[in-house]
């Protein structure tokens, strides 16, 4: 399947909502945390798959601001898992020339999580291949509100006039400023919603929502998503005739 992918028509940026861990664990007769642990293999496969193809950016929706409302024992287990996963995956990131980055209100994460993230980002900052972006304590509405607050503050300081505001300026105040919008968004488990994820950036993304649960997602699923993307006509409001011309 990988051999059928057109290397000249790859998305620069793929975003993934990793959904289905809890349902996968339930199918195994196990606790939800077991599903989160089993999802690490899928993260590794997709990261390596994107690196192999030459994808520039991969954003994984790892923990939303709404996820803080889950039962405390599950949140605590997720944070512990995050620490151990980051620590254990640095070698894999280095071997695949992957640079780690984050978006979201990461200051709200436990101190040990922040420490491991900073260490991993320092260790990989010189890598020049895929940039793996973890969305942690993130939501699209929070990001937009933060951008509005910061832009408003700079207007009050006299850096800009309200008339200066356009899409480019506003985009620079988002967590993803300087990063191209995702051309392809994958959400596993068959759910048909974006769950407060990258509300600004997904305006013209192609959506791919397979029924497979995230812990079962592997490289062939990624290849299939990209092949589906390459078969679509991206018109951006134009007609088919204009795009062809």
Catalytic residues: 19, 67
Beta bridge partners of 16: 60, 186
Distance spanning both ends of the chain, measured CA to CA = 30
> How would you class 207 by CB atoms within 10 Å of its CB: exposed for 0-12, middle for 13-18, buried for 19 or more?
middle
Nearby residues of 231 by Cβ (< 8 Å), 6 or more positions away: none
Q: Tell me the two tokens of residue 238.
A: 């134009």
Q: What are phi and psi of 62, to 5 degrees?
A: -90, -35
Task: Determine the length of the chain.
Answer: 245
Rg (CA), the chain: 19
User: What SS3 class is residue 132?
Assistant: strand
Least Cα distance to 106 among 97, 98, 118 occurs for 118
Cα 230 from Cα 234, distance rounded (Å): 9
Q: Tell me the two tokens of residue 119.
A: 């260490």
User: For 80, which DSSP code?
Assistant: H
């Amino acid at each position: 399947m990988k051999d059928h992918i057109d290397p000249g028509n790859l998305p620069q940026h793929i975003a993934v909502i990793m959904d289905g861990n809890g349902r996968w664990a339930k199918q195994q007769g196990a606790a939800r945390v077991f599903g989160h642990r089993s999802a690490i293999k899928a993260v590794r496969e997709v990261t390596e798959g994107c690196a192999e193809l030459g994808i520039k950016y991969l954003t994984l929706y790892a923990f939303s601001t709404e996820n803080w409302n889950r039962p405390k024992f599950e949140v605590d287990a997720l944070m512990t898992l995050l620490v151990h996963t980051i620590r254990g995956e640095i070698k894999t990131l280095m071997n695949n020339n992957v640079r780690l980055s984050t978006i979201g209100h990461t200051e709200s994460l436990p101190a040990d999580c922040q420490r491991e993230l900073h260490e991993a980002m320092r260790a990989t900052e010189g890598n020049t291949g895929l940039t793996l972006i973890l969305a942690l304590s993130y939501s699209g509405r929070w990001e937009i509100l933060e951008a509005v607050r910061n832009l408003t503050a700079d207007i009050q300081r006299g850096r800009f006039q309200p008339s200066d505001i356009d899409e480019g300026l506003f985009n620079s105040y988002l967590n993803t400023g300087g990063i191209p919008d995702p051309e392809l968004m994958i959400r596993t488990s068959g759910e048909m919603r974006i769950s407060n994820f990258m509300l600004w950036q997904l305006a013209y993304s192609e959506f791919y929502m397979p029924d497979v649960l995230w812990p079962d997602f592997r490289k062939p699923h990624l290849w299939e998503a990209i092949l589906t993307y390459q078969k679509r006509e991206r018109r951006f409001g134009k007609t088919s005739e204009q795009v062809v011309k």
